[in-house]
Structure 1
């Protein structure tokens, strides 16, 4: 009897061991196969960046691995090569997106395209979307921003009615206010930056304008507001369709990868100019406008916890101690809190830059023809050469008056920071190095720690010694 029980127990034990062994094999074989595949891929190409181990998986979110080398269509090649034809090669429009972030000199870059007689220019139209959806985080808004860009590039401005409409009355049954004011009655006066837009502030939309569209020079915003009554969006759409090139400048698209669907879309001939600037100069400029940038910095900072699992290395960038001044009052605390939000947002922006830089280095040839990078420092050091390069990339001629304009705008009498959002002639070369005198040693170290990888890829050397800094050489 005992022998029979012992044999039964042995059979059960053997069966259990066989089950465990089978489960182990089922788990181990796929792991070994996946490991071998990863090693095979690693032998073929070097890793992109040792500090971004999961970047490859993160790029897959945008369908990057599905991209293959494609033949550029005859229309696209013609548009890229055609310099001065109004229709651009195959007869279609060209669409240019100026991809930048706050305080990088993007307003100046956009103004160069605003001046060109063949360009229909829009200044930060996505501002309306961010204001309407506040406090949504930056990453969650990328899809909505992309969809808005698609409509605007097609000269369909009805999308603005979703975000730029005035708030509804508290009583939903209340009659409309006298004179309208509803979403259907939006005008050019609802567009952000309309007072200096060359199309809105000149004929035919503004017959009484004291300047012509083809004249090169800054628009007096107050004079435009006096002379140019608001016009309906339908009229603006009709004017947009007349121009061979549509340019949109904005600072709210956090990642280049979000534009891939538009870059692949056959109906759009989209090209992207990405603007960079020394993060230390960006931080210095943002601190001078901290209150104006506070809301949007919070939106960027709120996306940090969503970005971390996607391969972005985290760096801690905190405000330097004692920045609030000698007093410990409420105002000092508010200033310290505002700088904390701006510093954290810069950390997220620098990691997004790193992601874009690595992203673009993996780009196939067809995409590299549609994308170019620009450093603000290069633009202000050699303005005419960079202007010619940018306009050639956009398929536009280079009017001699524009070369004089860009030179005069970067060779002003002095660098003034009293009105940081005002576009004016200034000594931009002095602005390149202003951060060295205005940032503390601790602030400089913190920015370099948070943005070091991106700075290295952009050829911004770290400070040579405490309180100083090495002069940046030419990047490429």
Structure 2
């Protein structure tokens, strides 16, 4: 009897618990149904549209950069007239109204430092040398593709003369400015770099920057801002004390044209939001060079370019989910020996740098190809803000190309600057042991063909295999075609790939 009563008692408790659970579930279902029903009826008694479909996967390349196919009617309005964009904000001697911003889009060892120096010499230009270097150093080893968004945001801030963004990246243990021979900023104790004291002597290639090394920022400067000629870096370091960032920002706002030269933008499409901004009034100059000459120059500076080449090479694998074109090139035995890959796929330490630099160049050439294809499909208003330049054309016809560039930027052409560009490309000789990243007068015409004597046939073949499509669009003949084209067009330079 006792066991039967105990069993009945337990069963009643179980039935009660089960009923409570079922009742709770019924209330939850009823409540959710009433909320959904009320939401669909709405205040006016009309049913709301169905919920949006679930999000799609990551966009393909065509979708991500589809803005190149904008219609002509979607042209952004002209910049609004205001104090910031008005001609009265321009410095003395300016003949163009409105604030303009120019981005020099290039890659390593294409002659971008020389191109940037031409704008650095112009008296109406505020020039910024490779500000994204700090970002890449601080975020290493992030791949180049992942940094595109942050790079674009940094460009927008810098073009608005807001340099505070540099404090996010120029922090310990970030290295110093790429052109400074010694750490530029020191704290009072320990001699370590301090981001709190970030000043003009740590950014924008300050030792050769005409704005930083001239009055009013440098009162004892040996030369004025209007004087055309290379800045003596030692004299600037000796005579020009550090100035606060807000003083440099104030000076930036006085100039009608702000130019940024950098080599770390992998895709031109990353700048599309900035090109659409009418208040920014952005224009892009993209610099190209024969990939064989680029590879030859990169090999001479392999140790300085190793870290960033690894970042570029890592982008090849990041690009796979986005559907970007990727070409797998099997290495022949000669190329494997050249790059140091032997038995078991191990690379010899002495040749690893060559292997990384060659792989990075393949990624760069694929990015060139995408930029060239998209620029050809761009609407007229966007083409008006974009132009292309080959390094070979610049050094063969320095005055003509200088006039074209300055016309694109709506800048006057000082006669002294014409003489400068001619003298810089007609030096006595091309020094084989030229220090990388330093600008000096040289026979740049000889530098065009220096790769023929320094690269092996296997190296040339590898570059042409990786970059052949881009070379074809840029009118760079392959090795077997050079002799035929040379006789047909002897004494004439190829036209620029984009009339811009």
Q: What is the TM-score normalised by the length of structure 2?
A: 0.76
* SS in structure 2 at match of 1:304: helix
Distance 1:177 1:408 in 2: 46
Question: Residues 84 and 397 of structure 1 are in contact (CA less than 8 Å); yes or no, is this contact kept in structure 2?
Answer: no
The alpha-carbon deviation at position 183 of structure 1 amounts to: 3.0
Change (3 A) 1:178 1:136: closer
Q: Which residue in the other structure is 1:475 paired with?
A: 495
2:168 aligned to which of 159, 162, 169: 162
Deviations 1:254-279 (A, max 9, x none): 00000000001122010000000000
Aligned counterpart for 2:457 among listed residues 418, 441, 454? 441
Q: Which of 300, 303, 312 is equivalent to 2:315? A: 303
2:165 is the alignment partner of 1:153: no
Give distance in 2, aligned partners of 1:142 and 1:303: 11
CA distance in 1, matches of 2:444, 2:116: 16
- The 1:88–1:151 alpha-carbon spacing in structure 2 relative to 1, beyond 3 Å, is farther
Task: Report if the CA contact (8 A) 1:209-1:227 is conserved.
Answer: yes
1:321 CA displacement: 4.8
Q: 1:431 aligns with which of 447, 464, 467?
A: 447
What is the match of residue 467 of structure 2? 451
Q: After superposition, what is the alpha-carbon deviation per residue over 1:8-52, rounded to whole angstroms, capped at 9, x for unaligned?
A: xxxxxxxxxxxxxxxxxxxxxxxxxxxxxxxxxxxxxxxxxxxxx
- Map of 1:61 onto structure 2: 64
Tell whether 2:329 aligns with 1:316: yes
CA apart distance, 1:176:
8.4
Residue 88 of structure 1 contacts residue 94 of structure 1 at CA under 8 Å; is this kept in 2?
no
Larger CA deviation: 175-184 vs 130-139: 175-184
Cα separation, 1, equivalents of 2:92 and 2:211:
20
Task: Report the 3-state secondary structure (helix = DSSP H, G, I; strand = E; otherwise coil) of the residue aligned with 1:139.
Answer: coil
- Classify 1:197/1:85 alpha carbon distance in 2 versus 1 (closer, same or farther; 3 Å): closer
**CA distance in 1: counterparts of 2:356 and 2:191, whole angstroms:** 41
Alignment check: 8 A CA contact 2:68 2:378 kept: no
Residue 140 to residue 407, structure 1, CA distance change in 2 (3 Å): same
Once the 2 structures are TM-superposed, how far is the Cα of residue 398 of structure 1 from its aligned partner? 0.1
Equivalences for 1:153-302 in 2 at 5 Å?
A: 153-167=159-173, 177=189, 182-302=194-314
Query: Matched residue of 1:303: which SS?
Result: helix
Q: Which runs of 5+ in 1 are unaligned?
A: 1-55, 169-174
Query: SS at 1:453's partner residue?
Result: helix
Secondary structure, aligned partner of 2:115: helix
Q: Equivalent residue for 1:115?
A: 121
Normalised TM-score (structure 1): 0.79
Shift of 1:335: 2.6
Deviations 1:331-360 (A, max 9, x none): x92231100000000000000000000010
Post-superposition offset of 1:103:
0.3
Aligned-partner Cα distance in 2 for 1:335–1:350: 25
Describe the superposition over 1:69-96 as per-residue Cα deviations: whole angstroms up to 9, x where unpaired.
134645499x9xxx9997776x531000
CA contact (8 A) 2:79 2:278 kept: no
Q: What's the CA shift for 1:248?
A: 0.3
Instruction: Supply the distance in 2 between the matched residues of 1:357 and 1:113 (Cα, whole angstroms).
Output: 24
- Does 2:420 match 1:405? yes
| Count of residue pairs brought into register by the alignment | 404
- Distance between the aligned counterparts of 1:66 and 1:179, measured in 2? 53
Deviation string, structure 1 residues 190-235 (Cα, Å, up to 9, x no partner): 1141100000000000000000100000001111100101111111
User: Pick from 353, 359, 371: which aligns with 1:356?
Assistant: 371
CA spacing shift, 1:86–1:76, aligned 2, 3 Å:
farther
Structure 1 segment 337-348 matched on structure 2, within 5 A? 337-348=352-363
**1:362, distance to aligned residue in structure 2 (A):** 1.0
